[in-house]
Chain A
Amino acid sequence: DTAVSQTPKYLVTQMGNDKSIKCEQNLGHDTMYWYKQDSKKFLKIMFSYNNKELIINETVPNRFSPKSPDKAHLNLHINSLELGDSAVYFCASSQVPGSLYEQYFGPGTRLTVT
């Protein structure tokens, strides 16, 4: 059973399009995260939700909007995609907010904007 799953795994789209990435965790965790990893492997947190409430919102363009319909799901919608949005997006979850030492990552969604 996959603990943290993301769909799709790969996403190729053109500039200006709107796309969504979905994440689900079956660990019963209260907190979920979105990270962006660029081509140089730098991993940067974007958002964090605890019990469906936004608790971390880093300096991310307004084109990115997370949505958490329930504790087990955290989706990421991106409007007006730009070339610089190309990256791997990872979803993660933990029981305690911000507790890096028990954070579980999904397999990633590789987004390519052409």
Chain B
Amino acid sequence: QKEVEQDPGPLSVPEGAIVSLNCTYSNSAFQYFMWYRQYSRKGPELLMYTYSSGNKEDGRFTAQVDKSSKYISLFIRDSQPSDSATYLCAMSAGAGKSTFGDGTTLTVKP
């Protein structure tokens, strides 16, 4: 069983929709939770990170971490065609290696 499981997708939504992207994990030592966005044929770029449980908001993006359920989410409000990309969750216990989810490909249709 993988340490990090991500909703596989693909996901296709109309412009303006609220998008929910989710990951579950099994390693209770994870403390750092990240979301990366990867456009086609580009490298991943860090979108948001959260330390431990809680919510974090940045513009149209909200990251949620529920350590008790070992569940993290990324919400995108008022989705735009420019949000079309693959979203990767990633987790780390601290210094050392990270573990990525398999990615969810999102398409926002105008």
Contacts and interface: CB of A to CB of B under 8 A. Distances in A.
Contact of B43 (A45, A100, A101, A107): A107
Given A58-B97, A99-B95, A105-B43, 11 more contacts: A40-B102, A41-B86, A41-B88, A42-B103, A56-B97, A98-B94, A98-B95, A98-B97, A100-B49, A101-B32, A105-B45
B25 interface: no
Nearest to A105: B43
B102 A101 contact: no
Q: How large is the interface on A (under 10, 10 to 19, 20 to 34, 35 or more residues)?
A: 20 to 34
B interface majority secondary structure:
strand
Given A96-B95, A98-B95, A100-B34, A43 B44 contact: yes
Interface in B56-110: 86, 88, 90-92, 94-98, 100, 102-103, 105
